Amino acid sequence: MRNSRTALFLCVVLAAACKKQTASQEQPSGGTAPAGQTVAAPGADTIRVGATLPLTGAEARTGGFYKEGYELAFEEATKNGGVDVGGKKMAVQLTLLDDTSTQATAASLADRLINSDKVNFLLGTYATNLVEAQSVVAEQNQIPYVNGGGAATAIYKRGYKWVFGLLAPVELLAESIMKWIDTQQKAGKLPKPATIALLWENTSHGKDFRKGVTEFADKSKNYKVTVDESFELNGKDFSALLGKVKAANTDLFLADAHLPDYITMQRQYVTAGMCHKIQSYGARGSEKQAAESLTPKNVQYILSAVWWSNQLSSKSPEAKRFVDLFKAKYGGRAPEWYQALGYETVRALFAAITQAGSLDRDAVRQKLAALKIPSLLPGGELTFPAEFGQQSHAPFVVQQNLPDGTSPIVAPPDAATGTGIAPNPGCAK
C-alpha cells in the first residue's frame, strides 16, 4: 500500500503538467499501480471512470479519506468480476488525479479526463468550491458527474441535468442541529430566548449554514443571533472574530468550517478560555484527527451533524456491510463519513450503469435521475430528487463528543445510540 500510494502521489502532484501521461500513470480498477509498474491501456470491455480529489493542499487529509472510499468500491467491483452491463461483466478502471485543493486545477483536470483521457464517467471531487467549478465542465461536456463532496444548494440550483450529489443540503445540516438544541431548550435546559454567536465560512457552504440557523431562529422566536460574521477559508488567525464572540457573551456558539479551520479556530477558542452552553462546528466535531490535534479534553461536548456515522451499522445492513468491508481493507480502522460518501458515490454510479445496461452517457444519466436503491446513508435509501436539482435529501445524524471519548448519535430518535448533554457542564467550572 505504501508503494502504491507513493506512485499515485508522484503522478497526481504534477497532474497539471501531465497532459502527455501514458497509461503507466493511471490507476487500474481496484487500486493504484505499484511504483515502476506499467498498466496496460484498458480494452473495449473496460469502464473508464475519471476523478480528481484534493490529495495535496488545504483539503488533502479529507481528500485522502475520499480516496479510500473510492478505492474500496472499485476493489469490491473487481472482486465481483466487474460491473454488469447488459448481462456482461465489464472491468472498471479509475483514473484519479490531484486537484491540489484549487478550483482552476479541479476544472482543468476534469476537462483533461473527459477530452484527453476519454473517460466514460466522472466522480466528483471534495469541497463545495471545487465541485462548483468542476461540475460546470461536466455539464458542458454532457457527461454524468456523481459527487459526494459538494453540499451547497448553489451547485444544484443551476438547472444542470448531468450533475448528481449525495450530500444533503447544508441548510438541513444546520436545521438538524437547531432541532436538537430546541429539544433541550423546551426541556428547560437552555435559556429562552437563547442568544447565538454565528460564524460561517465565506463560501456557498457557509452561506447555506447561516441561512439554516437564521431561518430556524426567526421562525422559532426563541433565539436571537447577536454575532453574525463570516471568515475566509484556510484562516490562520481567528482571534479577532473570537474576541467579538467572547465580548457578546452568547449562550450558543455555532460555526461552519472545514476541518483545518475548525481545528485552528477551536485551538484559539480554548486558548482564549471560552465556553458556551452549546458549541458546534456544523459537520465538524467528532473527527479522530481533531481530537488528536486538540486533545480529547478540548473537544468535549461539541455537537456535530453529519451525513453518515459508522454507528449506523447497528441499525442498517448496508452500513454494516460497508463498515465490515472497510475494516477488513484498512486494518480494523473504523470509517468516518468521508470514506462512506466516497464509497457510496461510486456505488451509485455503478448501479446506474447496470440499470442502463449500457455505457451510453444519456442512458446512464436517465437512470441516475430515476435512481432509488438501498443505501448506507441515514434513511436507508438513495435518490436524486428532481425538485432539489438532483441533490440527495437524506437525513442527518447529530452527534455529541462525550468525556469518555465516544461521540454517540443523539438525534434523530430512531437513529440515536446515546443521550446528549446540555448545557455544557464544563462551563460551570
CATH architecture of the domain covering 170-306+400-428: 3-Layer(aba) Sandwich (3.40)
How crowded is residue 18: how many other Cβ atoms within 10 Å of its Cβ? 17
* Residue 237 to residue 217: CA distance in whole angstroms: 29
Q: List b or e across 338-355, with b for residues whose CB sees 16 or more CB atoms inside 10 angstroms.
A: bbbbbbbbbbbbbbbbbb
pLDDT tops 60 at residue 262: yes
pLDDT tops 90 at residue 29: no
The whole-number pLDDT of residue 405 equals 92
Higher-pLDDT residue of 58, 8: 58
Strands 409-411 and 397-400: antiparallel
Write the DSSP assignment of 73-108 as a string of letters. Answer: HHHHHHHTTSEEETTEEEEEEEEEEE-TT-HHHHHH
The whole-number pLDDT of residue 289 equals 86
Domains 2-168+316-388 and 170-306+400-428 share a fold: yes
Residue 317 corresponds to which cell in the numbers above? 445492513
Amino acid found at 130: L
pLDDT tops 90 at residue 25: no
pLDDT tops 70 at residue 397: yes
Domain covering 2-168+316-388, topology:
Rossmann fold (3.40.50)
Amino acid found at 36: G
Half-sphere exposure of residue 20, counting CA atoms within 13 Å on the CB side? 0
The whole-number pLDDT of residue 149 equals 97
pLDDT tens digits for range 296-338: 999 999 999 999 999 999 999 999 999 999 999 999 999 999 9
Domain boundaries defined on the chain: 2-168+316-388, 170-306+400-428
Helix (H, G, I), strand (E, B) or coil at 17: helix
pLDDT tops 70 at residue 26: no
The whole-number pLDDT of residue 43 equals 57
Average pLDDT of the chain to the nearest whole number: 90
CB < 8 Å & 24+ apart, contacts of 366-370 = 368/144, 368/146, 368/164, 369/161, 369/164
Name the DSSP letter for residue 42.
P
* Residue 409 to residue 176: CA distance in whole angstroms: 12
Please name which of 125, 134, 132 lies closest in space to residue 158, comparing C-alpha atoms: 132
User: Which pTM was predicted?
Assistant: 0.87
Residue 267 CB-density burial (10 A; 0-12 exposed, 13-18 middle, 19+ buried): middle
How crowded is residue 386: how many other Cβ atoms within 10 Å of its Cβ? 10
